[in-house]
Amino acid sequence: MKTLQSPKRDLYYTKDHEWIDFQGTVAYIGICRFKLTGFKQIQEVSFKEPSGFKKQGEVIATVKYKDYLIEAHMPVDGKVLQVNEKLITGDLNILLDSAESSAWLALIVPSQPHERKGLLLPKQYQLNGKSKYAKQ
């Protein structure tokens, strides 16, 4: 049985708490659970033009709970192929339950699938998160 922590994952993070899992010429992208701190549930996920080419750092979606509003950004340049149907059909809380696994936001084709500039390895992200963003 394949686990989510399989060595086949090519997972990286951004300093803004988004993740990208490279799968050859495509990649899944999403937001980290830490970025949703304070969210008790997800009321709305809106995608900004859910297809087409996006530059690294461009907003691809916003997630809302009461007065909280966070933006999800493209971790790399690339073309959005599809967004996660579960988020369109109303199962929004998967972002809270499985933020860094099955709760991906979009499937993309990175413009440079082997480029990792500006991305953090999981160990780098964890160190960054524990030192800079530790809960008080």
User: Residue 61: which domain range?
Assistant: 10-112
Residue 21 covered by a domain: yes
Residue 126 covered by a domain: no
Of residues 44, 66, 68, 47, the one with CA closest to residue 58 = 47
Distance CA(55)–CA(2), nearest Å, equals 32
Residue 133 covered by a domain: no
pLDDT of residue 89: 82
Quote the number of domains for the chain: 1
pLDDT 10s digits, 70-107: 999 999 999 999 999 888 887 788 888 887 777 899 99
pLDDT 10s digits, 40-78: 999 999 998 767 899 999 999 999 999 899 999 999 999
CATH number at residue 75: 2.40.50.100
Q: Which residue has the higher pLDDT, 10 or 136?
A: 10
Residue 2 covered by a domain: no
